[in-house]
Structure 1
Amino acid sequence: MTGWFTFRDGEATAGDVLALDRVRAVLDREGLPYDVVWSPGFRARALHLDEVRPEDYTHLVFVCGPLHGRQVEELHRRFPHCARIAVGTSVIDPASPAVTGFHQVLARDAPGAAPALDLAARAPAAPAPPVVGVVLTHGQHEYGGQRRHAEVAERVTSWLAGRDCARLELETRLDAHDWRLCGTAAQLEAVLSRLDLVVTDRLHGLVLALRAGTPALAVDPVAGGAKVSAQARACGWPALLPADEVDEAGLARWWDWCLGEGRERARRTAARLRGDAVEDGADLLLDALRTPVPG
Structure 2
Amino acid sequence: MGIASTENQTITEFVLLGFNGIPELHLPFFVVLTVIYVSIIMGNTLILVAVISSQRLHTPMYFFLANLSLLELLYTSTVVPKMLEGFLQEAAISVAGCLLQFFIFGSLATAECFLLAVMAYDRYLAICYPLRYPLLMGPRWCLGLVLTAWLSGFLVDGLVVALTAQLKFCGPNRIDHFYCDFMPLVELACSDPSVAQMTTSILSAICLAVPFGLILMSYAQILMAVLRVPAGASRRKAFSTCSSHLVVVSTFYGTLMILYIEPPAVDSLILSKVCSLLYTVLTPMFNPVVYALRNKEVHRALRRLLYVRQTEAAD
Could you say which TM-score interval applies, normalised by the shorter chain? Answer: under 0.3
Greater percentage in strand: 1
What is the TM-score with the length of structure 1 in the denominator?
0.21
Higher relative contact order (CA 8 A, sep 6+): 2
More helix by percentage: 2
**Structure possessing the higher radius of gyration over alpha carbons:** 1
